[in-house]
Structure 1
Amino acid sequence: MHADLVGLGAVLLLAALVARGARRVGLPSVPCYMLVGILLGPGTPGPVLIEHPDDLSVLAALGLVLLLFHLGVEFPLEQVVGGGRRLFLAAACYIGLNITAGLIFGFSLGWGGAEALVVAGALGISSSAIATKLLIELQRLTNAETPVILGIIVIEDLFLAFYLALLSPVLSGADSPGALAGHIALSFGFLVVLFAVARWGARAVGGLIGSREDELLAVAAIGLAVLVAGLSDEVGVSDAIGALMVGLVVSRTRFRERVERIVLPLRDVLATVFFVAFGLTIDVGDLGGVAVPALIAVAVTVVTNVTAGVLAARLFGFNQRGAANIGLTVLARGEFSLILVTLAIAAGLDARLGPFVALYVLLLAVTAPLLAAGSRYLARVMPDWLLRSDWTYVREETISTSCTHLDQIRVTSTDAAACRGCEELGTDWVQLRLCTTCGHVGCCDDSPHQHSRRHAEEARHPVIQSAEPGEDWRFCFIDDTLVRAPMGRSRDKR
Structure 2
Amino acid sequence: MPEQVLLEIGLALAIVAFAGILAARFRISIVPLLILAGMVVGPHAPVIGILDFRFIKSAPLIDFMGRVGILFLLFSLGLEFSVGRLLKAGRSILVGGSIYMAINFTLGMVLPIIWGWPLRETLVVAGLISISSSAIVAKVLVDLKRTARPETEMILGLMLFQDVFVAVYLSIISGLVLTGSASPPSVLKSTSLALGFMLGLILAGRKLAPLINRLFNVPSDEVFMLMVFAFLTLVAGFSETIHVAEAIGALLVGLILAETDHLDRIEHIVVPFRDFFGALFFFSFGLSIDPLTLGGAVGPVLAAVAATLIGNFLAGIIAGRMAGYSYRGCTNIGLTITPRGEFSIILANLAKTGGLLPVLQPFAALYVLLLAILGPLLTKESKWIYSQLARIFGWPALQEKGKVRQGMQI
Identify the TM-score tier after normalising by the shorter chain.
0.7 to 0.9
Which whole-Å CA distance do the structure 1 matches of 2:106 and 2:136 have between them? 14
Q: SS of the counterpart of 1:351?
A: helix
Query: What is the aligned-residue RMSD (CA, Å)?
Result: 3.8
Listed as ranges, the matches of 1:20-419 within 5 Å are 20-44=21-45, 48-52=53-57, 53-79=59-85, 93=99, 96-102=102-108, 104-105=110-111, 110=117, 111-122=121-132, 127-130=137-140, 133-134=143-144, 147=150, 149-170=151-172, 173=175, 176-308=183-315, 310-311=317-318, 323=327, 326-327=330-331, 330-332=334-336, 337-344=340-347, 347=350, 348=353, 351-352=361-362, 353-366=364-377, 369-370=380-381, 372-382=383-393, 391=394, 397-399=397-399, 403=403
- Structure 2 unaligned segments of length 5 or more: list them: 176-180, 355-359
* Contact preservation (8 Å) 2:46, 2:54: no
Q: Which residue of 2 aligns with 1:466?
A: none
User: What's the CA shift for 1:202?
Assistant: 2.7
- Structure 1 unaligned segments of length 5 or more: list them: 383-390, 405-484
Summarize the Cα distance change of 1:313–1:264 in structure 2 as closer, same or farther, 3 Å threshold: closer
Which whole-Å CA distance do the structure 2 matches of 1:311 and 1:42 have between them? 44
User: What's the CA shift for 1:94?
Assistant: 5.1
Stretch moving more, 123-132 or 339-348 = 123-132
User: What's the CA shift for 1:286?
Assistant: 1.8
Which whole-Å CA distance do the structure 1 matches of 2:324 and 2:122 have between them? 41
Report the AA paired with residue 398 of structure 1.
L
* Contact preservation (8 Å) 2:314, 2:334: no
Summarize the Cα distance change of 1:258–1:170 in structure 2 as closer, same or farther, 3 Å threshold: farther
Q: After superposition, what is the alpha-carbon deviation per residue over 1:155-182, rounded to whole angstroms, capped at 9, x for unaligned?
A: 2233244334334534664853322222
Summarize the Cα distance change of 1:327–1:222 in structure 2 as closer, same or farther, 3 Å threshold: same
Q: After superposition, what is the alpha-carbon deviation per residue over 1:53-101, rounded to whole angstroms, capped at 9, x for unaligned?
A: 3342322222222222222232345555667977886676556534543
Summarize the Cα distance change of 1:486–1:107 in structure 2 as closer, same or farther, 3 Å threshold: same
Q: SS of the counterpart of 2:42?
A: coil
Which whole-Å CA distance do the structure 2 matches of 1:194 and 1:86 have between them? 21
Which whole-Å CA distance do the structure 2 matches of 1:376 and 1:486 have between them? 16
Which whole-Å CA distance do the structure 2 matches of 1:317 and 1:235 have between them? 35
* Contact preservation (8 Å) 1:310, 1:324: no
Q: SS of the counterpart of 1:285?
A: helix
Which whole-Å CA distance do the structure 1 matches of 2:309 and 2:365 have between them? 21
Report the AA paired with residue 32 of structure 2.
P
Which whole-Å CA distance do the structure 2 matches of 1:212 and 1:341 have between them? 43
User: What's the CA shift for 1:104?
Assistant: 4.4
* Contact preservation (8 Å) 2:83, 2:259: no
* Contact preservation (8 Å) 2:136, 2:372: no
Which whole-Å CA distance do the structure 1 matches of 2:3 and 2:316 have between them? 51
Q: Which residue of 1 aligns with 2:178?
A: none
Which whole-Å CA distance do the structure 1 matches of 2:322 and 2:191 have between them? 34
Q: State TM-score, norm by structure 2.
A: 0.77
Report the AA paired with residue 358 of structure 1.
L
Report the AA paired with residue 274 of structure 1.
F
Which whole-Å CA distance do the structure 2 matches of 1:341 and 1:14 have between them? 25
**Greater relative CO (CA pairs within 8 A, separation 6+):** 2
Summarize the Cα distance change of 1:239–1:315 in structure 2 as closer, same or farther, 3 Å threshold: closer
* Contact preservation (8 Å) 1:69, 1:246: yes
* Contact preservation (8 Å) 1:8, 1:49: no
Report the structure number with the largest CA radius of gyration: 1
Which whole-Å CA distance do the structure 1 matches of 2:235 and 2:45 have between them? 37
Q: Which residue of 1 aligns with 2:357?
A: none
User: What's the CA shift for 1:7?
Assistant: 1.8
Which whole-Å CA distance do the structure 2 matches of 1:237 and 1:262 have between them? 26
Q: SS of the counterpart of 1:303?
A: helix
* Contact preservation (8 Å) 1:310, 1:327: yes
Summarize the Cα distance change of 1:332–1:344 in structure 2 as closer, same or farther, 3 Å threshold: same
